[in-house]
Structures are given as structure tokens and as C-alpha cells.
Copies of this chain bind each other. A is one copy, B any other.
Amino acid sequence: MSWQFKLTASVRASPLRALTTRPNNGLLLRPTALGAAGSFSAWSGSTMTQTITYAKRTLSTTQPRKSLNLDNINQNVRAAKYAVRGELAVKAEAYRQRLTEGDSSLPFDSVIFANIGNPQQLDQKPITFFRQVLSLLENPILFENPEVLKTSFGYKQDVIDRAKVLLGNVQSVGAYSHSQGAPGIRDSVAKFIEERDGFPANPQDLFLTGGASAGVSTLLNVICNDSNAGVLVPIPQYPLYTATLALLNAHCVPYYLEEQKAWGTNVDAIKQSIAEAKAKNINVRSIAVINPGNPTGASLSPDDIKAVLDIAAEETLVVIADEVYQTNVFTGEFVSFKKRLRQLQQEQPGKYDDVELVSLHSTSKGMVGECGHRGGYFELVGFDPLVQEQIYKLVSIGLCPPVVAQCLLETMVNPPREGEPSHELYQQEYNGIRDGLHKRALALYNAFQRMEGVECQEPQGAMYLFPTINLPSKAVEAAQAEGRAADEFYCLALLDATGVCVVPGSGFGQKENTLHFRTTFLAPGTDWVERIVKFHSEFMEKYRS
């Protein structure tokens, strides 16, 4: 029912240009899936292996009577790549569906979604205090009988008090709020930042968002002023950055993280990337840093942060600090870019005065894990007030972030304090989630140590491990024969054999001639880890020369 032709080509020689996600650079997309969701080719370092698989339906792109076809829609959309929810995720969902419907022909009895940081899909329990407050906000009639709430459902007085305060702030969770977020909630976020950093924060500089992704999109929309604009993005990276830059027809200017130094930031690599970009007339305007790292799990030291701020000050770059994993830190202590900047501004007056910094946070990660609520914020530091007005206008076009999520954010940044009735349970739940994550991270790390050809940095933070996989050349050839990147080939085989879904390193970017995959360590139990170990051993055996 379909015909194919295959093409393998080295598209670009320079790593910089290979990662440039612009529509006119000859990057082709591969439409394969016949379902609602497509698969989109991934890139790997400076060499791109490309397959074009045309199903018969592809011919519909020539439908002359349709206004929209693949060739005349916005080609920036077409050029954008987002592997986290691509072909593998769609296939995993199809397997899950088959299992639900009683299909017993598969070689596994459950699908493990280790491809996406979605804790509550993997049975992480929400924190009780948060959800009790939100239930009252959804149905304020529950306030009318506080004694019953307490005796029958375990609500404490501080839950009821908090819900009343929040309702006072937003009037109703069904009403639009201020486009930057309800003022009272921004006050709480400002206090949280002040306590975290020891430096003041201004609620006027805070923008509540529908998840951190919405914030990144807003900021890149403002920063990218023409097709020469470039943003420094760490490689490997969370593909939101490259995808959004592709949508804006702007340049992704990659800088490689150092795997051998626990995925640390290499100042020389950044400087070299800037120099190469300038030589190509790219106007480098900003640097994105993900700390703790996604997909690497790395946690930056204060010196690393200073190094980035030094470059930002010297090169006049906007620093985008994606700090959504700030509480997911196993070793050392999280230091925010804002705190480090304020310290440096005190220590060396002048040099850092004009640095523009955005710090992003989210309710989706940490021990909160409330992805589905879509909450978060960003703080602007050192921005021109007139630019800030434009950012306000831009977000106002989308009206406001979800109000329930704003309230959730407030409980996250202002949890029950010691001595308050809900504190003990909150702390117990919080620590339980934190310790569970660390334990599972170590179990996975230990399993990787046992696997032939697999190298993994010690887990430091975030929700991910990103091991290198050294595959036999026969496996690489088998992948090429299918027109796939070798890591994608490996991950598909893993999914087909075990039901464990991970994301190939090519979806995040990786150095030439290296292969990785990203796995979360959220799934409960260790059975699935053993599935990976067994699969890997069989895979290596099968393709051994």
C-alpha cells in the first residue's frame, strides 16, 4: 500500500550549520505515520542521516483543490522537530492501547513511558496540601462545612485558610486574571525568590505562565527579531529550544556540553560557537542554559554560572536560565542565576549591571510533578521597561495563564511551614518523592554500569539519565539499511521488545559519532530496568561482529 525511496546524505559539513534549524537549509522531513501523529527526522551532530519515506497518502500534497498542503503551509512549522512526542511516543501509546484491549500477543505486559517527565502518569501521588486547596477553589461551597471537611476528609485549618486567601486573590478560578498572573500570587512568588536567593524580587517583573514552555516561547518570540538572530543552545538540549527557534526562522547556535565533566558547561566551547556564528553573520542575542540539565541531569556549580554570566556581560547576551529542575538536585545545592548575578553585581560594580536575565520555573517538575495543570512563571531581571511592556502586550493577546495553575504555583512556592497543621504530611510526602527519585536514579545508573558499551555520568539532578551507547558496527549498518539513526533504531528495538519507551539522543542533539538515549527515572519498581538490561545484552549479542 505504500512505496518508499531512501536517501542517506551528509547534509552539512559544519556542526553549526547542521543545527541551524531554518527552513531553507535543505533539511527534509519524513512523513511516515498514517495515524494522527507523524514522525519527524532527528539530527545527529554535524552529519544528518535522512530518510524520505513516502506513504501513498503523501501524494495528497499535490491535491490542487486544497488551500493547504505540506508544501505551502508555513515551512517553519514543517522544519521544527520535536522528538519527545514523535514516532516512538505514538508507537508506545498504540502498544498501551492494545494491552488495554486485551491483546496478549506482545512480548511485554505493560508499557513504561520513560520518554517524558510525566510523574503522575507513572503513579506519583500528588502532594495532598496542593490538591486539597485546589478542590476548595473549584467548589467553594465546600467552605460552608469546614468541620466535615476536617473530620471526614482530613483537611486541616491551614488548607481552608489558604484557599480563602487565594480565592480573595483571584475572585474565581473561572475568571480571567491579570495577564501577568494574579497580583497576590505574584507577591508570593516574589517572596519565594527573595527567600531562595537572599535578594529582592519585584512582582512587576514576574510573569506567570502556562508551564515553562509557554514562557520560553514568549521570550524567544521577543528576542528573535529577524532571520539573522541566533540563540546559543546547549547540546544536548530539551528540543523545545530548537523547535521554537525553527518556528521563528531564527538560528540555533549550538554549544556542546562536556560529557566527561558531568555534562558541565565549557566556556571555550561557548566562545568558539559565538565566534563561528559571528563569522556567518549570525547576530547572537541570547544564551539558553538548562540548569539542572535536561536531558543530561547535570547541576551547574557557582563557577560555571559565573562563566556564563561573564560571557553574557561581555557579549551583551540575554541569559535564559531554564531552572525548572531547581529542586531536583541530588548533589550540592542549587544556585540560581539570579542569585549569582546579584552576588557578582555586588562584588564587581559595573561589569554586570546591564545583564538581562530571565529565570523560568514550573509546577510540572520538582516534587510537585503537576504537569497537567500547566503552571509556571518567569522573572525578568535587568530588562528595559519598554521591552517589558511589549512582553506584557504579547502575553495579553493570550489573555491569561490557567488560574487553577496560578493557585497551584502559589502553594508550591509557599508550602505549609513548620508548626502549621499540614506541614508534617507535606514534608513526609515531599521527602518520600525526593528519596524515591534518587533511589530509582541510582538503580538505573547501577544497571547502566553493568551494561556492555554503556557509559553514564553519575546522577546529579533533574529527572533524567542520558547514557552513551556504543553499538556494534553491524547494528549501525542495520539502522542505516532502514534509513534510521542508530540510536533511534536501538530505541525502537527496545520498545518493540520490552515496552520501555525512551528517546534517542538524536532528538536532543549529540556530538558527531556518539549515540545516547534519554530515560526518566520516574517509573516505579525495578522490573523495567531489568527489561532494559536483558534487551541490551541480547541486542549486543545479535549484532556482534
Contacts and interface: CB of A to CB of B under 8 A. Distances in A.
A38 B174 contact: no
Interface string A360-403: 00001000011111100000001111111110111011111111
Contacts of A176: 116, 118, 121, 364, 371-372
Contacts of A247: 221, 394, 397
A337 interface: no
A318 interface: yes
Interface size band for A: 35 or more
Interface stretch (A55-63, A104-112, A299-307): A55-63
A33 B384 contact: no
Interface of A: 31, 33-38, 40, 57-58, 60-61, 63, 65-70, 72-75, 77-78, 80, 82, 84-86, 93, 116, 118-121, 126, 128, 131-132, 134-136, 138-139, 141-142, 144-145, 148, 152-154, 170-180, 204, 210-211, 213-214, 217, 221-225, 240, 243-244, 247-248, 285-286, 316-318, 353-354, 356, 364, 369-374, 382-390, 392-394, 396-405
Nearest to A385: B57
Given A68-B387, A121-B175, A214-B398, 17 more contacts: A36-B204, A63-B354, A67-B223, A67-B318, A73-B222, A73-B225, A74-B221, A77-B221, A80-B397, A86-B393, A134-B138, A134-B139, A138-B138, A141-B154, A172-B372, A372-B400, A373-B403
B67 A286 contact: yes
Contact of A138 (B33, B38, B135): B135
A68 B383 contact: yes
Q: Which 7 A-B pairs have the closest CB atoms?
A: A372-B403, A38-B389, A135-B139, A65-B354, A120-B175, A120-B172, A85-B396
B171 A121 contact: yes
Contacts of A31: 386, 389
Nearest to A31: B386
A172 B121 contact: yes
A78 B385 contact: no
